[in-house]
Amino acid sequence: EYEALGIPMEPPGVRIERLIETVELVRAFFLGAELSFHGSHVTARNMCAVPASVQPEGPRIMVGGGSPRVLRAAGRLADIVSLNFDNSSGQIGSDGVRSGASDQTMRKIEWVREGAQDRFENLEIEIGAYFTSVTEQAQSSTEQVAQRLGVTSDELRDHPHVLIGSVAEIVEALEAQREIYGISYVTVGASVLEEFAPVVARLAGQ
C-alpha cells in the first residue's frame, strides 16, 4: 500500500502517531466549524467542512489493530473498535493466528477499555472472521484450515476469528462471542456472503 502511494513506510510508532492525529483531525473536521490543526505529522489551516455532517458528532469512525498502543488509542478516539491480529510480521501465519486466540482477544479488549475509560460501554466492538465456512463438515474443514496455517485444529476451536460449522453452530458461536467479548459487529469476506446469508437471517433482529 505504501509503495503504491509512493510514500515511505515509517516505523510502527510513527505510523500510529500519524493515525491518531488523522482521526483527531477528521473528528474535528466533520463538526463543520473552521479549524486549524498542527500536529507532528498532520497539518490543516483554516479548514472547514461545508456542509457539516448531518450527524451531530460526525460519521462513526472505526479504528482497529492488534497492539496495545493502537487499541488504547482506538478506545479513546473511535466509535467502533476492530480487533485484529498482531500483524507485526507483515503476513498471516501461525504467530498471527495465535495472536487472535481467545485469551489474546480478552487482553485486547482490556487495552481498549483502558483507552476508553468511561466511554467503553458506548463503543461497538468489531472482529473479522477471516476463516469462514458454512458446512456440515466442521471438523474436516477446520483441520484443512489449520494445516494451511501451521496450527492445530484445537487452536482454531472457539477462535474468535474463525467461523466454521453449520448455520446453527455459527449462530451459537456468534452469540457466545457477544456474551464473552461484547462483539456485536462481525465482518466476513465477500467470497462467503451467499453461504453466510442464512446465518444473517437467523440472527436478524437480535
Q: Are 63 and 23 in contact (CB under 8 A)?
A: yes
In a shared domain, residues 85 and 179: yes
Q: Looking at the 3D structure of the chain, how many domains does it have?
A: 2
Residue 47's region, left for phi above 0, alpha for psi from -120 to 50, else beta, is beta
In a shared domain, residues 64 and 24: no
Residue 180's region, left for phi above 0, alpha for psi from -120 to 50, else beta, is alpha
Please, which pLDDT band fits residue 52 given cuts at 50, 70 and 90? confident
Q: Of 4-18, 100-114, 138-152, which range is least confident? A: 4-18
In a shared domain, residues 75 and 53: no
Q: What tens digit of pLDDT does each residue of 154-201 get?
A: 999 999 999 999 999 999 999 999 999 999 999 999 999 999 999 999
The pTM is what? 0.89
Q: Can you give the C-alpha Rg of the chain in angstroms?
A: 19
In a shared domain, residues 130 and 185: yes
Cell 463543520 identifies what position? 32
Q: Is residue 168 exposed (0-12), middle (13-18) or buried (19+ Cβ within 10 Å)?
A: exposed
Helix (H, G, I), strand (E, B) or coil at 9: coil
In a shared domain, residues 166 and 190: yes
Please, which pLDDT band fits residue 16 given cuts at 50, 70 and 90? very high
Q: What tens digit of pLDDT does each residue of 91-132 get?
A: 677 999 999 999 999 999 999 999 999 999 999 999 999 999
Q: Is residue 164 exposed (0-12), middle (13-18) or buried (19+ Cβ within 10 Å)?
A: buried
In a shared domain, residues 43 and 73: no
- Measured in whole angstroms, the distance separating CA 186 from the mean position of its chain's CA atoms is 9
In a shared domain, residues 87 and 41: no
**What residue numbers bound the domain in which 171 lies?**
60-203
In a shared domain, residues 49 and 143: no
What is the predicted pLDDT for the residue at 55?
A: 86
